[in-house]
Amino acid sequence: MAKKLYVGNLPYTVDDEALHNHFAQFGAVDSAKVIMDRETGRSKGFGFVEMTDDSAADAAIEKGNGADMNGRAINVSEARPQAPREGGPRRGGFGGGRGDRNGSGGRRDYGNR
């Protein structure tokens, strides 16, 4: 099973390919993904690298943590499982689910017109 690494403090110019190439110096890289902001399309400054060989992944953590990448000292550690999000599934929308606010049972009383 592949070991997943968290890579933080990435320069915003780094893309998936550059991340892959940087970690290839430690061993075979299965995947490398820079996390992007959905709205702006820009890097969030962190990513994940998967390596099959545990010893290569350990070397990447040991030698890569604090190493310079395009002028920034990156943080490398074993990725932790994502924490479950609170509040259940997102429903979206604008103010839905308020129920009946005026006591009219959903009917509008416009009086005599």
pTM above the 0.75 mark?
no
CA neighbor of 33 nearest in space, from 24, 41, 65, 43: 43
- What is the number of alpha carbons within 13 Å of residue 18 lying toward its C-beta? 13
Taking CA atoms, 57 is separated from 13, 33, 46, 48, 64, in Å, by 24, 16, 17, 12, 10
Kindly report, residue by residue over 62-72, the tens digit of the pLDDT: 999 999 999 99
pLDDT tens-place string over residues 15-39? 999 999 999 999 999 999 999 999 9
CATH fold of 3-72? Alpha-Beta Plaits (3.30.70)
Q: How many Cα atoms sit within 13 Å of 48 on the Cβ side?
A: 13
Structural domain spans, the chain: 3-72
Rounded to the nearest 10 degrees, what angle do helices 16-23 and 54-64 cross at? 100
Share of the chain above pLDDT 90, in %: 69
* Tokens of residue 63, six digits: 């030698």
